[in-house]
Homo-oligomer: A and B are copies of this chain.
Amino acid sequence: MTAVGFVGLGIMGSPMAGHLVAAGHQVTGFDLATEAVRKLAQTGGRTAGSVAEAVDGAEVVITMLPADPQVEQVVLGEGGVLEAAKPGTLVIDMSTIRPETSQAVARAATERGLRALDAPVSGGETGARQASLSIMVGGAEADFAQARPLLEALGKTIVHVGPAGAGQVVKAANQLVVGGIYALVSEAIVLLEAAGVDPGPGLDVLAGGLAANRILDLKRESMIARQFQPGFRIDLHHKDMGIVLAAARQAEVALPVSALIAQLIAAGRAMGYGSLDHSALLRVVEQLSGRPA
Protein backbone atom coordinates (compact mmCIF):
# COMPACT_ATOMS: atom_id res chain seq x y z
CA MET A 1 0.00 0.00 0.00
CA THR A 2 1.25 3.44 -0.96
CA ALA A 3 0.10 6.82 0.32
CA VAL A 4 -0.80 8.69 -2.85
CA GLY A 5 -1.73 12.35 -3.26
CA PHE A 6 -3.81 12.80 -6.41
CA VAL A 7 -4.41 16.27 -7.88
CA GLY A 8 -6.73 16.66 -10.84
CA LEU A 9 -9.91 14.57 -10.70
CA GLY A 10 -11.37 15.33 -14.12
CA ILE A 11 -12.67 12.97 -16.79
CA MET A 12 -9.36 11.16 -16.82
CA GLY A 13 -8.15 11.65 -13.25
CA SER A 14 -11.36 10.57 -11.56
CA PRO A 15 -11.44 6.95 -12.76
CA MET A 16 -7.65 6.72 -12.43
CA ALA A 17 -7.80 7.70 -8.75
CA GLY A 18 -10.61 5.20 -8.31
CA HIS A 19 -8.46 2.39 -9.71
CA LEU A 20 -5.72 3.23 -7.22
CA VAL A 21 -8.20 3.07 -4.33
CA ALA A 22 -9.49 -0.23 -5.65
CA ALA A 23 -5.93 -1.53 -5.79
CA GLY A 24 -5.62 -0.92 -2.06
CA HIS A 25 -3.69 2.34 -1.99
CA GLN A 26 -4.45 5.19 0.35
CA VAL A 27 -5.43 7.98 -2.06
CA THR A 28 -5.98 11.56 -0.96
CA GLY A 29 -7.49 13.61 -3.79
CA PHE A 30 -7.95 17.25 -4.60
CA ASP A 31 -9.64 19.14 -7.40
CA LEU A 32 -11.05 22.64 -7.68
CA ALA A 33 -14.38 20.99 -8.54
CA THR A 34 -15.71 19.86 -5.15
CA GLU A 35 -18.12 17.46 -6.80
CA ALA A 36 -15.17 15.52 -8.18
CA VAL A 37 -13.60 15.31 -4.73
CA ARG A 38 -16.86 14.07 -3.22
CA LYS A 39 -17.05 11.36 -5.85
CA LEU A 40 -13.61 10.11 -4.87
CA ALA A 41 -14.72 9.93 -1.24
CA GLN A 42 -17.63 7.70 -2.26
CA THR A 43 -15.21 5.18 -3.74
CA GLY A 44 -13.16 5.07 -0.55
CA GLY A 45 -10.61 7.78 -1.17
CA ARG A 46 -9.72 10.56 1.21
CA THR A 47 -10.44 14.17 0.38
CA ALA A 48 -8.28 17.25 0.63
CA GLY A 49 -9.19 20.94 0.60
CA SER A 50 -6.03 22.09 -1.14
CA VAL A 51 -3.07 20.90 -3.12
CA ALA A 52 -0.91 21.10 -0.02
CA GLU A 53 -3.34 18.98 1.96
CA ALA A 54 -3.44 16.33 -0.77
CA VAL A 55 0.31 16.21 -0.85
CA ASP A 56 0.76 16.13 2.90
CA GLY A 57 2.13 12.77 3.98
CA ALA A 58 2.12 11.32 0.48
CA GLU A 59 4.91 9.02 -0.70
CA VAL A 60 3.83 9.51 -4.29
CA VAL A 61 1.98 12.46 -5.80
CA ILE A 62 0.14 12.03 -9.10
CA THR A 63 -1.06 15.03 -11.09
CA MET A 64 -3.46 14.83 -14.04
CA LEU A 65 -4.06 18.35 -15.32
CA PRO A 66 -5.38 19.93 -18.52
CA ALA A 67 -2.34 21.78 -19.87
CA ASP A 68 0.96 23.55 -19.22
CA PRO A 69 -0.41 26.55 -17.29
CA GLN A 70 -2.14 24.32 -14.75
CA VAL A 71 1.00 22.24 -14.25
CA GLU A 72 3.07 25.41 -13.87
CA GLN A 73 0.68 26.62 -11.19
CA VAL A 74 -0.23 23.40 -9.37
CA VAL A 75 3.17 21.72 -9.47
CA LEU A 76 5.69 24.55 -9.78
CA GLY A 77 3.73 27.47 -8.31
CA GLU A 78 3.41 28.92 -4.84
CA GLY A 79 1.77 26.48 -2.47
CA GLY A 80 2.12 23.85 -5.16
CA VAL A 81 3.14 20.22 -5.14
CA LEU A 82 6.89 20.76 -5.10
CA GLU A 83 6.67 23.28 -2.28
CA ALA A 84 4.37 21.11 -0.19
CA ALA A 85 5.87 17.67 -0.70
CA LYS A 86 8.30 16.21 1.81
CA PRO A 87 11.83 15.37 0.64
CA GLY A 88 12.08 12.14 -1.30
CA THR A 89 8.52 12.22 -2.57
CA LEU A 90 8.02 10.87 -6.09
CA VAL A 91 5.94 13.23 -8.26
CA ILE A 92 4.34 11.59 -11.31
CA ASP A 93 2.83 14.13 -13.67
CA MET A 94 0.51 12.32 -16.06
CA SER A 95 -0.69 15.45 -17.85
CA THR A 96 0.07 15.89 -21.55
CA ILE A 97 2.27 18.99 -21.71
CA ARG A 98 5.37 20.35 -23.42
CA PRO A 99 8.57 18.38 -22.88
CA GLU A 100 10.31 21.56 -21.71
CA THR A 101 7.74 22.02 -18.95
CA SER A 102 8.24 18.42 -17.82
CA GLN A 103 11.98 19.04 -17.80
CA ALA A 104 11.48 22.19 -15.75
CA VAL A 105 9.40 20.18 -13.28
CA ALA A 106 12.13 17.55 -13.08
CA ARG A 107 14.84 20.15 -12.48
CA ALA A 108 12.80 21.95 -9.83
CA ALA A 109 12.01 18.64 -8.13
CA THR A 110 15.67 17.71 -7.96
CA GLU A 111 16.54 21.11 -6.52
CA ARG A 112 14.10 20.45 -3.70
CA GLY A 113 15.23 16.91 -3.05
CA LEU A 114 12.23 15.36 -4.75
CA ARG A 115 12.01 13.06 -7.75
CA ALA A 116 9.77 13.47 -10.81
CA LEU A 117 8.49 11.44 -13.72
CA ASP A 118 6.52 12.60 -16.74
CA ALA A 119 3.99 9.94 -17.60
CA PRO A 120 1.45 11.10 -20.19
CA VAL A 121 -1.09 8.57 -21.37
CA SER A 122 -2.99 7.63 -24.48
CA GLY A 123 -6.22 5.73 -24.70
CA GLY A 124 -8.59 8.49 -23.67
CA GLU A 125 -11.55 8.37 -21.33
CA THR A 126 -12.29 4.75 -22.22
CA GLY A 127 -8.72 3.76 -21.45
CA ALA A 128 -8.88 5.61 -18.14
CA ARG A 129 -12.12 3.87 -17.14
CA GLN A 130 -10.97 0.43 -18.22
CA ALA A 131 -7.47 0.83 -16.79
CA SER A 132 -6.14 0.07 -20.25
CA LEU A 133 -4.12 3.22 -20.87
CA SER A 134 -0.77 3.30 -22.61
CA ILE A 135 1.64 5.17 -20.35
CA MET A 136 4.86 6.70 -21.68
CA VAL A 137 7.27 7.44 -18.87
CA GLY A 138 10.25 9.79 -18.83
CA GLY A 139 12.68 10.05 -15.92
CA ALA A 140 15.17 8.00 -13.94
CA GLU A 141 15.11 4.22 -14.20
CA ALA A 142 14.87 3.77 -10.41
CA ASP A 143 11.95 6.15 -10.14
CA PHE A 144 10.20 4.32 -12.95
CA ALA A 145 10.72 1.04 -11.09
CA GLN A 146 9.06 2.51 -8.02
CA ALA A 147 6.18 3.94 -10.04
CA ARG A 148 5.47 0.87 -12.11
CA PRO A 149 3.23 -1.02 -9.62
CA LEU A 150 1.03 2.06 -9.26
CA LEU A 151 0.90 2.64 -13.00
CA GLU A 152 -0.04 -0.98 -13.58
CA ALA A 153 -3.30 -0.25 -11.82
CA LEU A 154 -4.00 2.38 -14.51
CA GLY A 155 -2.84 0.97 -17.81
CA LYS A 156 -1.79 -2.03 -19.80
CA THR A 157 1.22 -0.75 -21.70
CA ILE A 158 3.69 0.95 -19.40
CA VAL A 159 6.99 1.83 -21.02
CA HIS A 160 10.01 3.72 -19.78
CA VAL A 161 11.09 5.64 -22.87
CA GLY A 162 13.95 7.82 -21.65
CA PRO A 163 14.99 10.69 -19.37
CA ALA A 164 12.87 13.59 -18.13
CA GLY A 165 10.58 14.86 -20.88
CA ALA A 166 10.89 11.70 -22.95
CA GLY A 167 7.38 10.61 -22.06
CA GLN A 168 6.04 13.86 -23.48
CA VAL A 169 8.11 13.53 -26.64
CA VAL A 170 6.74 10.04 -27.28
CA LYS A 171 3.21 11.27 -26.61
CA ALA A 172 3.83 14.09 -29.10
CA ALA A 173 5.09 11.60 -31.67
CA ASN A 174 1.96 9.54 -31.09
CA GLN A 175 -0.34 12.49 -31.58
CA LEU A 176 1.36 13.65 -34.78
CA VAL A 177 1.00 10.19 -36.28
CA VAL A 178 -2.62 9.85 -35.17
CA GLY A 179 -3.59 13.31 -36.43
CA GLY A 180 -1.75 12.72 -39.67
CA ILE A 181 -3.44 9.39 -40.37
CA TYR A 182 -6.84 11.01 -39.80
CA ALA A 183 -5.92 13.62 -42.41
CA LEU A 184 -4.72 10.99 -44.87
CA VAL A 185 -7.82 8.82 -44.48
CA SER A 186 -9.94 11.96 -44.88
CA GLU A 187 -8.19 12.87 -48.12
CA ALA A 188 -8.63 9.30 -49.34
CA ILE A 189 -12.37 9.36 -48.60
CA VAL A 190 -12.89 12.74 -50.28
CA LEU A 191 -10.95 11.63 -53.35
CA LEU A 192 -12.90 8.39 -53.63
CA GLU A 193 -16.29 10.00 -53.17
CA ALA A 194 -15.60 12.89 -55.53
CA ALA A 195 -14.42 10.43 -58.17
CA GLY A 196 -17.70 8.54 -57.85
CA VAL A 197 -16.19 5.54 -56.09
CA ASP A 198 -18.00 3.94 -53.13
CA PRO A 199 -15.54 4.52 -50.28
CA GLY A 200 -16.57 1.38 -48.39
CA PRO A 201 -15.08 -1.28 -50.68
CA GLY A 202 -12.25 1.11 -51.53
CA LEU A 203 -11.16 1.49 -47.92
CA ASP A 204 -11.60 -2.24 -47.41
CA VAL A 205 -8.84 -2.80 -49.92
CA LEU A 206 -6.62 -0.23 -48.19
CA ALA A 207 -7.24 -1.87 -44.84
CA GLY A 208 -5.97 -5.15 -46.26
CA GLY A 209 -2.61 -3.91 -47.50
CA LEU A 210 0.38 -1.72 -46.64
CA ALA A 211 -1.95 1.22 -45.92
CA ALA A 212 -3.56 -0.71 -43.05
CA ASN A 213 -3.81 1.15 -39.77
CA ARG A 214 -5.87 1.09 -36.61
CA ILE A 215 -7.77 4.26 -37.47
CA LEU A 216 -8.93 2.67 -40.70
CA ASP A 217 -9.99 -0.39 -38.71
CA LEU A 218 -11.86 1.46 -35.97
CA LYS A 219 -13.18 4.53 -37.73
CA ARG A 220 -13.67 4.04 -41.44
CA GLU A 221 -17.31 3.10 -41.11
CA SER A 222 -18.16 5.97 -38.79
CA MET A 223 -16.21 8.43 -40.94
CA ILE A 224 -18.00 7.34 -44.11
CA ALA A 225 -21.30 7.67 -42.20
CA ARG A 226 -20.21 11.07 -40.87
CA GLN A 227 -20.68 10.04 -37.25
CA PHE A 228 -18.31 12.10 -35.17
CA GLN A 229 -19.27 11.53 -31.54
CA PRO A 230 -16.16 11.72 -29.38
CA GLY A 231 -13.98 9.87 -28.70
CA PHE A 232 -11.19 12.36 -28.48
CA ARG A 233 -12.20 15.91 -29.22
CA ILE A 234 -10.63 18.07 -31.92
CA ASP A 235 -10.10 20.75 -29.26
CA LEU A 236 -7.83 18.37 -27.37
CA HIS A 237 -5.95 17.30 -30.47
CA HIS A 238 -5.49 20.99 -31.29
CA LYS A 239 -3.88 21.46 -27.87
CA ASP A 240 -1.68 18.42 -28.49
CA MET A 241 -0.51 19.65 -31.91
CA GLY A 242 0.65 22.80 -30.13
CA ILE A 243 2.79 20.53 -27.97
CA VAL A 244 4.10 18.67 -31.03
CA LEU A 245 5.30 21.91 -32.61
CA ALA A 246 6.75 23.17 -29.34
CA ALA A 247 8.62 19.87 -28.97
CA ALA A 248 9.90 20.20 -32.54
CA ARG A 249 11.06 23.75 -31.87
CA GLN A 250 12.86 22.67 -28.72
CA ALA A 251 14.49 19.72 -30.51
CA GLU A 252 15.38 22.01 -33.43
CA VAL A 253 13.77 19.86 -36.08
CA ALA A 254 11.52 20.79 -39.00
CA LEU A 255 8.29 18.80 -39.30
CA PRO A 256 6.45 20.12 -42.37
CA VAL A 257 3.74 17.46 -42.49
CA SER A 258 2.96 17.78 -38.77
CA ALA A 259 2.81 21.57 -39.13
CA LEU A 260 0.29 21.29 -41.94
CA ILE A 261 -1.79 18.76 -40.02
CA ALA A 262 -1.78 21.14 -37.05
CA GLN A 263 -3.30 23.85 -39.22
CA LEU A 264 -6.00 21.52 -40.56
CA ILE A 265 -6.91 20.58 -36.99
CA ALA A 266 -6.90 24.28 -36.07
CA ALA A 267 -9.26 24.77 -39.02
CA GLY A 268 -11.56 22.09 -37.64
CA ARG A 269 -11.75 23.95 -34.38
CA ALA A 270 -12.18 27.33 -36.09
CA MET A 271 -14.96 25.89 -38.25
CA GLY A 272 -16.87 24.90 -35.12
CA TYR A 273 -16.04 21.21 -34.90
CA GLY A 274 -13.96 21.45 -31.72
CA SER A 275 -16.31 19.25 -29.69
CA LEU A 276 -16.50 16.51 -32.29
CA ASP A 277 -14.24 13.49 -32.46
CA HIS A 278 -10.90 14.09 -34.20
CA SER A 279 -12.11 11.96 -37.10
CA ALA A 280 -14.16 15.08 -37.94
CA LEU A 281 -11.02 16.32 -39.62
CA LEU A 282 -12.89 14.84 -42.58
CA ARG A 283 -15.21 17.86 -42.37
CA VAL A 284 -12.28 20.22 -42.99
CA VAL A 285 -11.01 18.23 -45.94
CA GLU A 286 -14.53 18.08 -47.38
CA GLN A 287 -15.01 21.81 -47.16
CA LEU A 288 -11.67 22.48 -48.80
CA SER A 289 -13.02 20.49 -51.72
CA GLY A 290 -16.30 22.33 -51.80
CA ARG A 291 -18.20 19.36 -50.44
CA PRO A 292 -19.94 20.78 -47.40
CA ALA A 293 -21.71 18.65 -44.86
Contacts and interface: CB of A to CB of B under 8 A. Distances in A.
Nearest to A217: B212
Interface of A: 99, 122-123, 134, 136, 138, 157, 159-163, 165-166, 169-170, 172-174, 176-178, 180-181, 183-185, 187-188, 190-192, 194-198, 201-206, 208-215, 218, 242, 244-245, 247-264, 266-267, 269-272, 284-285, 287-291
A157 B263 contact: no
A159 B197 CA distance: 13
Contact of A160 (B134, B201, B250): B201
Contact of A197 (B166, B258, B261, B264): B166
B252 A198 contact: no
Given A123-B209, A256-B263, A184 B176 contact: yes
A172 B287 CA distance: 21
A257 B184 contact: yes
Nearest to A257: B183
Contacts of A255: 187, 190-191, 263, 285
A287 B292 CA distance: 11
Given A172-B191, A257-B257, 19 more contacts: A123-B209, A138-B197, A157-B209, A170-B201, A174-B211, A176-B187, A177-B185, A195-B247, A195-B250, A212-B214, A254-B264, A254-B267, A254-B270, A256-B288, A257-B260, A267-B289, A267-B290, A271-B288, A272-B290
A157 B251 CA distance: 38
A interface: dominant SS: helix
A98 to B, nearest CB: 11
Contact of A184 (B157, B177, B209, B290): B177
Copies of this protein in the complex: 4
B267 A257 contact: no
B136 A253 contact: no
Given A195-B166, A251-B191, A209 B290 contact: no
Which 9 A-B residue pairs are closest in the complex by CB-CB distance? A213-B213, A270-B290, A254-B267, A253-B289, A194-B251, A173-B188, A180-B184, A177-B211, A212-B214
